[in-house]
Amino acid sequence: MFKSLQTYKLLFFRLLAIVAAIEISIYFFRVGLIFTGVFGLFIVFLLIREMYFYVRNFVLLYDKTIASILQNDFTSDFTKHKVNKSYDDLFQLYDTLKNRQNEQISKDIIYRSILNNIETGIIILQKQDINWDIFLMNDYFSNHFNVPKVSKWKYLKNQLPSLCEIIEADDFHEIKTAVEISINEQNKQTFVLQASRTEIFERDYFIVLLDSIQNVVEKKEKDAWVNLMKVISHELLNSITPIRSICQNLQDLVEQDSLSSEDLEDIKNSVETMLRRSDHLQKFVEGYRKLAMLPSPKKEKTALKNLVENCLQIMNPLFKKDEIEVINAVSLKSSINVDPQQTEQVIINLLTNSINALKNSGQKQILISAEAKENRTYIKITDTGNGVEKEIENKIFLPFFTTRNEGAGIGLTLSKNIIEAHGGYISFKTEEGKTTFEICLVEG
C-alpha cells in the first residue's frame, strides 16, 4: 500500500512540475521575455516526454508481468527493474507465484515418479463438460497393456474395450470387481479392478487401479514362504547348534584314556540336553505336519449353544485354577453347519489364548457371546487381558510365532486355517482394555 502511494506521489509531482513549467512559460511571454518563454516550453516538452515514457514503461512492465502470471510463464527475468522500488509489490507477487509453481512442479515430478514405479496399472480421468479426458496414465499401465499414453477416453476405448465397457456400464461410479483383459490378442488374464470417483476444486476425477491377480497371489505366497522359512530356520538352528556343540564336547570326553566321575556326569547332562532339544524339534515338526495336513472339515448340523457349553466344561478346571470369571452369553438356539470337533478345537484354542492373556491381569474375566445376521454366525470371545501389542498385530497368526516360552505357536494359526476351511474367517481387535477374537461362519 505504501509503495503504491509512493508511485502516485511521483506521478503527482511530475504533473505538478509540468503545470508549474507551463505557468512560468506563459508568464515569460506576458512580460515580453519571448526567448525565455520558448525555453520554458521546451522544458515543458521534456517533462511531458519523460512522464510519457515513465507511464509507458510502467504500464508495459505491468502488462508483461501480469501476462506472465496469467499464462504461467515464469521464465522472464526482471532483475534489472528491481532497483526501482515502485515495482517491489509487483515483483514480490511474481516471485511468490514463481516459487509456488516450482514447488508444485517438483511435487508433480515426485508423484509421477512414484506412480510410474508402482507395479499397479493406474489411470486417472478428468471430466471436461460431458466427456472424460485422461489426466494421467502411469508407465506400468501403458507398458503392461501395450497402450500408448493417449489423452482421450475414446482412444483408450479403442485399445482396451473390455475394460472401458465395464467402467461405462457403471456410469463411472465406484467399482470393485475382477475383469478379464486380453493383451496383444493373447490369452485373457484376470485383473482386480478398483475404481473410485472424487471431486477436487469442482472438477470430477475418476481413478482406476488394475492389479494382476497372479501378481497379487505370487506376492502373498512369496511373503508367506519368507516368513515360514525364517521361523523354520530359527527353530532348526536353536536345536541343532546346541546339539552340535554338545556332540563336540562328548567327542573330546570319549577320546580320553579314562573317565572321571565328573566326566560321566557331564556325559549324562549332555545326553539329557540333547534329548530335550530333540523332543522340542520333534514337537516342532509334528506341529508343522499338523498345519500342513489339516483334514477337510466333515460338516454336520450342530447346536451352537451345546458346542460352546462343551468347550467351557472342558476348560472349567483351568478357569477355576486361575480364578477367572467366565460369562456365557450365548443364547442362540439355532444350529450351525460345521465340523464339531474342529470347531471345538478353535474355541478351546481361543479360550486358552485368553487364559494366558489374563495371567498378570487384575480383573480376570472372559465373555463368550454369539449372534446371527445376514446368513452369518459370529462367535466372540472377549477377555480383559493386556491386549495384543501393536508391534505383533501382523504376526499373531503366523505359524510358530509365540510370545510365551512354553508356547508352540500353532494354536492361532491352526484355528485360522480351520475356520477358513469352513469358508469363514477369524479377526481380532483391542479396545478399552479388552481384546475380542471374532469367528465368522457362513451358513451353508
> Does the pLDDT value for residue 3 go beyond 60?
no
Instruction: Judge if 206 and 313 occupy the same domain.
Output: no
Q: 132 in a domain, yes or no?
A: yes
Last residue of a domain, one of 195, 214, 233: 214
- Which grid cell is 39? 525555453
The predicted-structure confidence for 429-439, as pLDDT tens digits, reads as follows 887 778 888 98
Supply 140's cell numbers: 506400468
Measured distance CA(59)–CA(51) in Å, rounded: 12
For residue 147, is pLDDT > 50? yes
Residues 195 and 373: their CA atoms lie apart, in Å, by 29
Whether 127 and 57 map to the same domain: the answer is: no
pLDDT digits (tens, 9 = 90+) for 339-370: 888 888 888 888 888 888 888 777 888 899 99
109 within some domain: no
- Pull the grid cell for residue 206: 475418476
Considering the domain architecture, whether residues 337 and 416 belong to the same structural domain is answered as yes
Q: What is the pLDDT of residues 13-43, one digit of tens each?
A: 778 888 888 888 887 888 878 888 788 888 8
Q: Distance between CA 11 and CA 48 in Å, rounded?
A: 11
* 304 and 356 inside one domain: yes
> Among positive and negative, which fits the CA dihedral 397, 401, 405, 408?
positive
CATH of the domain at 149: 3.30.450.20
pLDDT (tens digit per residue) in 250-283: 777 777 767 677 777 777 777 777 777 676 666 6
Task: Give the closest residue to 248 by CA, choosing from 270, 264, 232, 222.
Answer: 270
Residue 58: which of 93, 84, 94, 19 has the closest Cα?
Answer: 84
Same domain, yes or no: 411 and 345: yes
Q: Is residue 143 domain-shared with residue 62, that is, in the same domain? A: no
Q: For the range 362-366, what are the long-range contacts, defined as Cβ-Cβ under 8 Å and sequence gap of 24 or more? A: 364/322, 364/323, 364/324, 364/325, 365/324, 365/325, 365/326, 365/327, 366/319, 366/324, 366/325, 366/326, 366/327
Greater model confidence, 108 or 208: 208
For residue 408, name the pLDDT band (cuts at 50, 70, 90). low
Where are the extended beta strands (E) located within 213-334? 300-303, 325-328
Residues 319 and 252 in one domain: no
Can you point out the beta strands (E) in 321-424? 325-328, 335-338, 365-373, 376-383
Task: Report how far residue 39's alpha carbon sits from residue 43's, in angstroms, rounded to the nearest whole number.
Answer: 6
H/E/C letters for each residue in 5-19?
HHHHHHHHHHHHHHH
- DSSP string across 122-173: EEEEEEETTEEEEEEE-HHHHHHTT----SBHHHHHHH-HHHHHHHHHTTT-
Closest CA to 250 of 237, 263, 239: 263
Give residue-wise pLDDT tens across range 36-45: 878 888 888 8
Domains of the chain: total: 4
Residue 1 confidence (pLDDT): 42
Do 319 and 429 fall within a single domain? Answer: yes
Contact 358, 383 (CB under 8 A): yes
Amino acid type, 415:
S
Is the distance from CB of 111 to CB of 103 less than 8 angstroms? no
| 178 and 282 belong to one structural domain | no
Q: What does DSSP assign to residue 86?
A: G
Of 191, 213, 215, 195, give the one whose Cα is nearest residue 205: 195
Q: What band does 327 get if pLDDT is binned at 50, 70 and 90?
A: confident
Determine, yes or no, domain membership for 111: no
Between 78 and 125, where is the model more confident? 125
Asked if 245 and 231 sit in the same domain, the reply is yes
Residue 105 forms part of a structural domain = no
What's the CATH code of the domain at 394? 3.30.565.10
pLDDT for res 118? 81
pLDDT surpassing 50 at residue 374: yes
Looking at the domain assignment, is residue 304 inside a domain?
yes
Domain limit, last residue, from 194, 214, 234:
214
Q: Strand pairing partners for 176?
A: 194
The β-bridge relationship of strands 365-373 and 335-338 is unpaired
**pLDDT at residue 395 in the model:** 67
Position 341 in a domain: yes
The span from the CA of 25 to the CA of 21, in Å, is: 6
Lowest mean pLDDT among 128-132, 184-188, 212-216, 376-380: 184-188
Q: Tell me the C-alpha distance between 368 and 164, whole Å.
A: 49
My answer on whether 160 and 184 are in the same domain is yes
Decide: 21 and 36 in contact? Cβ < 8 Å: no
Average pLDDT over residues 79-99: 67
Domain-terminating residue out of 235, 259, 292: 292
- pLDDT at residue number 84: 56
The answer to the question of residue 112 being in a domain is no
Nearest to 40 by CA among 12, 13, 19: 19
Mean pLDDT across the chain: 78
**pLDDT of the residue at 83:** 47
CA distance 204 to 263: 83
Q: Which domain holds residue 254?
A: 216-292
* Residues 273 and 394 reside in one and the same domain: no
Which class for 211: exposed (0-12), middle (13-18), buried (19 or more C-beta within 10 A)?
middle
* Share of residues in the chain with pLDDT > 90 (%): 1
> DSSP assignment, residue 335?
E
Instruction: Establish if 22 belongs to a structural domain.
Output: yes
Which cell is 198 given? 472424487
Mean pLDDT of 9-15: 76
pLDDT of residue 2: 40
